[in-house]
């Protein structure tokens, strides 16, 4: 692009973006429905979070999810995404999970 745009004019990151990010980066482990029933889950310990489970709905606040996606979960396959995704992208994918999958 070669020119600077103040962030106020940056493209809004919407739920479609959240879905794209989820399909691209998260689906392999968490599954298209977010239930964590994936091939990858067979070899992961702990297993990927099942977002559709009642426990997850209670346990996972938006704040915690953003924190976990940003920083990862120590000692698990859930890696930190802060160097791959912007803050807006992380909150877009978290709100996609919350609105559509949970």
Which residues are near ligand HEC by CB under 6 A? Answer: 21, 25-26, 28-30, 40, 44, 46-49, 60, 64-65, 68-69, 73, 76-78, 81, 93
Closest contact distance (angstroms) between CB of 7 and ligand HEC is 21
CB 6 → ligand HEC: shortest distance, Å? 27
Q: Are 11 and 1 in contact (CB under 8 A)?
A: no
Q: State the minimum distance, in angstroms, from the CB of residue 54 to ligand HEC.
A: 14
Q: Which is nearer to ligand HEC, 10 or 86 (CB)?
A: 86
């Amino acid at each position: 692009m070669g020119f600077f745009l103040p962030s106020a004019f940056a493209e809004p990151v919407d739920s479609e973006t959240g879905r794209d990010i989820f399909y691209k980066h998260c689906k392999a482990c968490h599954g298209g429905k977010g239930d964590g029933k994936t091939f990858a889950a067979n070899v992961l310990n702990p297993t990927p979070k099942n977002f559709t489970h009642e426990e997850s709905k209670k346990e996972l606040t938006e704040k915690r999810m953003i924190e976990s996606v940003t920083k990862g979960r120590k000692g698990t396959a859930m890696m930190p995404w802060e160097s791959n995704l912007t803050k807006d992208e992380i909150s877009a994918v978290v709100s996609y999970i919350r609105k559509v999958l949970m």
